[in-house]
Structure 1
Amino acid sequence: MALHFQSLAELETLCTHLYVGTDLTERIEAEKALLELIDSPECLSKCQLLLEQGTTSYAQLLAATCLSKLVTRMNPLPVEQRIDIRNYILNYVASQPKLAPFAIQALIQVIAKLTKLGWFEVQKDEFVFRDIIADVKKFLQGTVEHCIIGVIILSELTQEMNLVDYSRPSAKHRKVATSFRDTSLKDILVLACSLLKQVLAKPLNLQDQDQQNLVMQVLKLVLSCLCFDFIGSSADESADDLCSVQIPTTWRTIFLEPETLELFFNLYHSLPPLLSQLALSCLVQFASTRRSLFSSPERAKYLGNLIKGVKRILENPQGLSDPGNYHEFCRFLARLKTNYQLGELVLVKEYAEVIGLIANFTITSLQHWEFAPNSVHYLLTLWQRMVASVPFVKSAEPHLLDTYAPEITKAFITSRLESVAIVVRDNLDDPLDDTATVFQQLEQLCTVSRCEYEKTCTLLVQLFDQNAQNYQKLLHSASGLAVDMAIQEGQFVSHSCEQCAIVSRAISHCQNLALSQVWQ
């Protein structure tokens, strides 16, 4: 392929080879041609040609890719040229709202990169790249397609500001991200919440794909705002159970308004699963808000509103049949205990009722172990931390864990024993083969079983004796089937794992208590 382009046809051939071509040699040549096009003095004019006369969505994607690489080079374009590119793309997507989503996304990413890199650019005593919210409001006054584009612009910008570019000085990134947080992020969150309130204010047409897409984009925008790295900690998302969201103090009024939490609980109950899952993801972040944002009375009120939302969800559990909703709700419950003390939880008016509902939900979840198995970790985390907190509770209010923790322990043990038959008969993957998960769950169960050890030990002995009797019968039965033997042996293995883990942890716990008494 020639590396110098003279016509639109040659450029579109490059698009084909680059994005949908199957020939590796042609693709490599196309990538080389792309690099040469970016370095060419004609790059901007060729991009404009692709955008205005290209016949496929890949033409717009190629133009966006070239512009993105062009504006992020270490030797930046003159500020006037960057402003022209930004304004051109804004006008272009406004005039072409029905472009392919991936093409619009790629073009908007260019706007986000330009805005971030030029955040401190000044002309005539004005920051020339900071009027992005004013530009977006023009989109919000248009059609639904224009509203979606406006929201995507804000979402991409928020994500871009949060993204560390390791090819550039980290101090500069933090300076830009901090300035964006202090000057614009709160306004973006308020704008997104106002759009969601407008959605709930009128009857939802769930058959309208554009309206669904708009709600999805707004919820993603809220989630991007709440997941922002507010203090530059670059928190590892894999440490999910340890996260505390460092909401800025200036956002306090938003969080103190009961209508804020109520909005997202209402959205969860009103939207289809794909969207209600996003509403729950936002609530996970709300539940993770740093404690120091509130005074003690404010924190108690905020927690009370969260617990009311939990009660409402568990009393109307239809939405939890969706695996996505179920998973996010389990995360939500775990985050509640991460950020609030048991002594605070027991003081909530609805605590006794809600802890019972959560216990029943957990037991049902453990009994249906094959449904969203990765979510069980969060439920066990909740109960593990609740039980571990019992010695530190000074409130006279009953925590009721001595009632429910043994039930959780029993449900876990019996459900794992019962799962053996299903695994063997249906030839499913054996959960015991995942040693890392088994070890983690048993660690959590050991703490939960600390409540009422006597009940746990009685249950273990009873189940072991029962399994032993059944196994003896099979050994002496002439008609014993191989499948039945495999099931009984599998139950012995499962039971032994649980028994060894619980007993060893009990011994360790007793030793620690004895040592603490010696030191005292």
Structure 2
Amino acid sequence: MASEIQYLDTLCKELYESTDQQVRLTAERALSEFSDSPACLRQCMLLLEHGSCPYAPLVASNTLTKLVSKTGVTLEERYELRNYLLNYLVHRKNLPNFVVTSLCQLFARLTKLGWFDFDKEREYMFRTSVDDIAKLAQESIDRCALSVQLLGHLVAEMNSSNAMSSITKHRKVAASFRDVQLFDIFQLTVSMLQTAYDSIKSVDDAQLNLINGLLQLALNCLTFDFIGSMIDDTSDDNVNVQVPTVWRIAFIDTTILKLFFGLYASLPGDLPSKALACLVQLASIRRTIFNNNERQTFLSQLCAGVKAILDNSEKLSDQATFHEFCRLVARLKSNYQLSELIKVDEYPKIVRLLAEFTVQSLRMYQFSANSTYYLLSFWQRMVSSMPYVKASEPHLLDQFAPMVTTAFIESRLQLADAVVNEGLDDPLDDSGSLIQQMEQVSVIGRCEYQRTCALLLQLFDGETAAFERALASGDAKVQTQSKTRLTWLVMVIGAAVGGRVAFSSSDDHDLIDGDLIC
């Protein structure tokens, strides 16, 4: 047995540590044969128990993950392996993070595959996993962090269809997990976050690591595919978090919003971006979970939190935090109506702050267009809703939307200069993003359309004259710069004219369109 372990240990070391490509390939082939052998399960257990190479547990874990996904492992073997893994993780100290992650993924895979398996007493054998893990959360900080990591991987695994033989089977397991244990996991997570927040002033690195895991676990719960729709999580269009009605009690008193906004304000480093990612999902909770008064209260608390961030915006200098905040702003309008936003306390100040923030963001080239897309999306939806609010309701968009339009146009001209003078990537080459931006500005620019038109005509006439001077000068760089600025202006003018909507057009707007075309 010792020689067998030593041989496998050597292969693991050669695979991950050797600088000789041929040695690595030989080790990879040998380990591939090992994973196909009838004694694979026993050998993996030996490697976990007695392997000395740091990569031995990783190889064993990855091999076991593939093995248990096949049909050749008996129920008893899977259950014994599940118990062994939990004991192994609890009692093995100082395991590398990559090993812990792999073993947690294996544990989650075993739990999912055995979700509907039961013993002789008709007890579901693998469903005790959550209870067993939750007990660890009451012990030392290290075991608490381990329990959070296990739960995080379990929720992620239940939300993934990769391990199942069919989508139907995956949906059946995911729906059962949602109904039986997901809400309990979410409540435990929020409770632990509240405890951590109550002592936030005295946290150390270990506790920050725990909070990081809790935020990821909360996000995994909130991004769960509750209705089995297999939505594209890369799209933010019309995304609602379809939580079951039983989850209602977690949201109606808005305490949860205060918790996550408080965590955002108090946490260091990259943790605020994770708190905001959770708030993005909370802002997307389906409307029907609330009655009218509860929905207005929830929205008011959301807006108060957004205002607090804008009043103290230092943390938004971080790219990831800025991106998540932009997503949060967009969700305010995608999930709520303009008439509801107008009723929020301090709405005039909030919409002014958002306009100023958008103007500033458009002029900061270091932030990705993927982020500012969400800000423009917010204003696009706000302006689109103007015909549906009463004239007596002061939406103030006629005051602030033109600020956004002006900032967009002027910032694109400044960006054109930067592309030529500083060698920045030219956004005109990204047709997908460009089309999105033009669609957005075509709507936003229609608010106070006379002002939009006057600005475009003024800039276009000035740039045409500048281009003629550049041609006469023979300076190729100046010609390129002027041509790029003109390209932007032509595209925005085309978008503005193309934004005409027949049912809301007027004779004045038609005359303005004629001026732009001519």
Q: Which region of structure 1 is more displaced relative to structure 2, 483-492 or 319-328?
A: 483-492
Within the alignment, does 1:486 sit opposite 2:480 as a pair?
yes
Query: Which residue of the other structure, out of 367, 370, 381, is the alignment partner of 1:374?
Result: 370
Q: Which region of structure 1 is more displaced relative to structure 2, 125-134 or 241-250?
A: 125-134
Aligned to 2:257: 261
Q: 2:43 is matched by which residue type in structure 1? A: K
Superposed displacement of residue 154, structure 1? 0.4
Query: Which residue of the other structure, out of 165, 187, 191, is the alignment partner of 2:162?
Result: 165
Deviations 1:327-361 (A, max 9, x none): 00001111111111111111112211111110000
Superposed displacement of residue 57, structure 1? 2.0
Report the 3-state secondary structure (helix = DSSP H, G, I; strand = E; otherwise coil) of the residue aligned with 1:133: helix
Aligned to 2:173: 176
- Counterpart contact for 1:241–1:335, Cα < 8 Å: no
- Counterpart contact for 1:245–1:289, Cα < 8 Å: yes
Query: Separation in 1 of the partners of 2:498 and 2:254?
Result: 46
Aligned to 1:518: none
Report the 3-state secondary structure (helix = DSSP H, G, I; strand = E; otherwise coil) of the residue aligned with 2:447: coil
**How big is the alpha-carbon RMSD for the aligned residues of Structure 1 and Structure 2?**
2.2
Aligned to 1:431: 427
Instruction: Give runs of aligned pairs for residues 276-425 of structure 1, distance below 5 A.
Output: 276-394=272-390, 396-425=392-421
Aligned to 2:513: none
Aligned to 2:511: none
Aligned to 2:206: 210
Query: Separation in 2 of the partners of 1:71 and 1:166?
Result: 10
Aligned to 2:266: 270
Query: Separation in 2 of the partners of 1:150 and 1:166?
Result: 22
- Counterpart contact for 1:222–1:282, Cα < 8 Å: yes
Aligned to 1:230: 226
Report the 3-state secondary structure (helix = DSSP H, G, I; strand = E; otherwise coil) of the residue aligned with 1:126: coil
Query: Which residue of the other structure, out of 178, 183, 186, is the alignment partner of 1:189?
Result: 186
Q: Which region of structure 1 is more displaced relative to structure 2, 281-290 or 432-441?
A: 432-441
Report the 3-state secondary structure (helix = DSSP H, G, I; strand = E; otherwise coil) of the residue aligned with 1:115: helix
- Counterpart contact for 1:273–1:324, Cα < 8 Å: no
Superposed displacement of residue 194, structure 1? 1.2
Superposed displacement of residue 476, structure 1? 5.7
Q: Which runs of 5+ in 2 are unaligned?
A: 507-518
Q: 1:57 is matched by which residue type in structure 2? A: P
Aligned to 2:45: 48
- Counterpart contact for 2:222–2:281, Cα < 8 Å: yes
The count of corresponding residues between Structure 1 and Structure 2 is 506
Aligned to 1:465: 461
Within the alignment, does 1:198 sit opposite 2:195 as a pair?
yes
Query: Which residue of the other structure, out of 486, 498, 518, is the alignment partner of 2:492?
Result: 498
Q: Which region of structure 1 is more displaced relative to structure 2, 153-162 or 164-173?
A: 164-173
Change (3 A) 1:38 1:309: same
- Counterpart contact for 1:384–1:448, Cα < 8 Å: yes
Q: Which region of structure 1 is more displaced relative to structure 2, 33-42 or 235-244?
A: 33-42
Deviations 1:35-90 (A, max 9, x none): 4434444333322322222222211111112222222212341x332221111111
Query: Separation in 2 of the partners of 1:336 and 1:110?
Result: 38
Q: 1:306 is matched by which residue type in structure 2? A: L
Q: 2:167 is matched by which residue type in structure 1? A: S
Superposed displacement of residue 21, structure 1? 4.5
Change (3 A) 1:262 1:89: same
Q: 1:491 is matched by which residue type in structure 2? A: R
Superposed displacement of residue 114, structure 1? 1.2
Report the 3-state secondary structure (helix = DSSP H, G, I; strand = E; otherwise coil) of the residue aligned with 2:421: helix
Q: 1:433 is matched by which residue type in structure 2? A: D
Q: Which region of structure 1 is more displaced relative to structure 2, 450-459 or 38-47?
A: 38-47
Q: Which region of structure 1 is more displaced relative to structure 2, 41-50 or 242-251?
A: 41-50
Query: Separation in 2 of the partners of 1:424 and 1:65?
Result: 50
Superposed displacement of residue 444, structure 1? 0.7
Superposed displacement of residue 512, structure 1? 7.5
Report the 3-state secondary structure (helix = DSSP H, G, I; strand = E; otherwise coil) of the residue aligned with 1:368: coil
Q: TM-score, normalised by structure 1?
A: 0.92
- Counterpart contact for 2:369–2:433, Cα < 8 Å: no
Q: Which runs of 5+ in 1 are unaligned?
A: 515-520
